[in-house]
Structure 1
Amino acid sequence: MAHYFESLVEQKIREALERGEFDKLPGSGKPLPGYGGEYDEDWYVKELVDREKLAGAILPATLILRKDLEDLPETLARARTEPEVRRIVAELNERIADNHRGLLPGPPTLIKRLDVETIVHEWSRR
């Protein structure tokens, strides 16, 4: 008859289980995120970038500019005043001008300057 030796760690885990300390933990009974999908060796990095909102620290400035232009409708939807809309568009136009002058690092992008008056008019209609 073999005797089982319970280590201190195993003992602490068993006692915590008996007290119910592992019951109703967040995520209990739910599948692990990404389980069952295709394996991505960069999963941790991508999750970290999303969780910590690090895209601005990793993406080149020209790609961030393109992303900000893509997100412009949502950004303007949160704007409360016309001066705020004008400021947002002016800042984007300044970055677009920097891009035209070749001052932004990253792959080249062809982006036209934004028409402030048209954007303000569209924003005010909403």
Structure 2
Amino acid sequence: MIREATERGEFDNLPGMGEPLDLSDVDDPDWWVKRKIRDENLDSSALLPMPLQLRKEAQGFPESLRGIADEDSVRDILTDFNHRVREAHLSSGAGMPSLVTAHTVDVDVMIQKWRMLRS
């Protein structure tokens, strides 16, 4: 299959053709993941432990909710966030508390801040 693809010219004019490979970071066991995230401009927050993901999400409130026009939708998002925080607390390994925890948000306070952002 490779030979046939080569004969059809499918490997001609590929980016980086004829250039040396960048092997500067191959000593890092996760080099390929980090390079993929960098090269494709991917959001790496999904790789964080759940408590850190939730903390990062909370840091974006209420600004991350600015584009949502419906108060009920904002309330649903914040309620879901609090539910996920509680789930993360319950799922910590064998009942042992995690050193990093996320905290629930006060939905009514966030709604007030969201309203001020929208006005």
* Pairwise same-fold verdict (TM > 0.5): yes
**Normalising to structure 2: TM-score of the pair?**
0.56
Unaligned runs of 5+ in 1: 1-11, 17-21, 27-34
- Runs of 4+ in structure 1 deviating by more than 4 angstroms, as ranges, are none
Distance in 1, matches of 2:71 and 2:61, equals 15
Alignment length (residue pairs): 94
- Quote the sequence identity (%): 28
Gaps spanning 5+ residues in structure 2: where?
A: 1-8, 16-21
Match of 2:107 in 1: 116
Cα-Cα RMSD: 3.4
- Kindly state the Cα deviation for residue 59 of structure 1 after the two structures are TM-superposed: 2.6
Distance in 2 (alpha carbons) for counterparts of 1:47 and 1:74 = 30
Return the match for 1:78 from 50, 67, 70.
67
Aligned AA (1:59): L
Instruction: Give the TM-score normalised by the residue count of structure 1.
Output: 0.54
**Higher CA-based Rg:** 1
Higher relative contact order structure (alpha carbons within 8 Å, sequence separation ≥ 6): 2
Note the alpha carbon deviations across 1:53-94, whole angstroms, 9 max, x for none: 4642x3322221122112333421222211121111111110
Q: Secondary structure at the match of 1:64?
A: helix
Deviates more, 1:111-120 or 1:68-77: 68-77
